[in-house]
Amino acid sequence: MTTKTVLDRGRQAAPQLYELLRQKIISLELTPGTVLSRADLAVAFDVSQTPVREALLKLAEEKLVDVFPQASTRVSLIDAAFARETHFLRRALELEIVRELALSHEPQLISSLKALMLEQKLARNNGNFTDFTDADMGFHRMLYQAVHKESLWHLVHSRSGHIDRLRRLHLPVVGKQDRILGDHDRVLDAIERHDPDGAQQALRDHLSGTLEYMGQIQADHPQLFKAE
């Protein structure tokens, strides 16, 4: 990473570095096992090593990098067990969220979710995986916001790096993006019809997608995974 990236000088550098590096890790632009040099990152982002260190420490808290004192910092290998644990947490939370929304929701929520789905469809049509993933995350985050539980979204997000990388590996598979969009349609339709059981079943089906294929994903990319 030698090409300089210009940061917004009106904002603190460390949070920007964290966001940029996290996005590169989740998108697999920085693949598991990649060595991250503080000196090289400081040059690439035209900052001192202090904000680089802060950003890497936050990524380490999220288990997205492994810091070896006096040695190196590397992008962590994907931890399938941690991904399953995070999936369990997210499913438990979102099943209750969609139930609550189906029982009582603001009409504006439906319009906002439909707008995000249009963004997702456009990203799919353009073959833009990053925009597709951003809209997907936006859809789910809006569910948490609608029940005034955004702090729980931040909790899930802080643990989601490993399962998000699994999804990124799975996303190019033929039909995967269409399935995600179809699942979102079903969740949204059940919420709009005030059908809590239907909303929960659609959400359960939606979140099971990538885990169903975890074994195959690991078999296809064994070098990216932590040994279990």
Reported as a single tens digit per residue, the pLDDT across 68-82 is: 887 789 999 999 999
What is the average per-residue pLDDT within 79-107?
Answer: 94
The domain made up of 13-75 is a member of CATH 3.30.2350.10: no
pLDDT for the residue 9: 77
Q: How many CB atoms sit inside 10 A of residue 165's CB?
A: 27
Read off the amino acid at residue 168: R
pLDDT for the residue 152: 97
CATH of 80-224, one of 3.10.20.30, 3.60.70.12, 1.20.120.530, 3.40.50.970: 1.20.120.530
Q: What does 188-209 look like in DSSP terms, one character per residue?
A: HHHHHTT-HHHHHHHHHHHHHH
Q: How many CB atoms sit inside 10 A of residue 178's CB?
A: 11
Percentages helix, strand, coil for the chain (3-state, rounded to 5) are 70, 5, 25
The domain ranges of the chain are 13-75, 80-224
What is the average per-residue pLDDT within 10-37?
Answer: 94
Quick: pLDDT tens for 172-182.
999 999 999 99
- CB-CB contact of 28 with 165 (8 Å): yes
pTM: 0.90
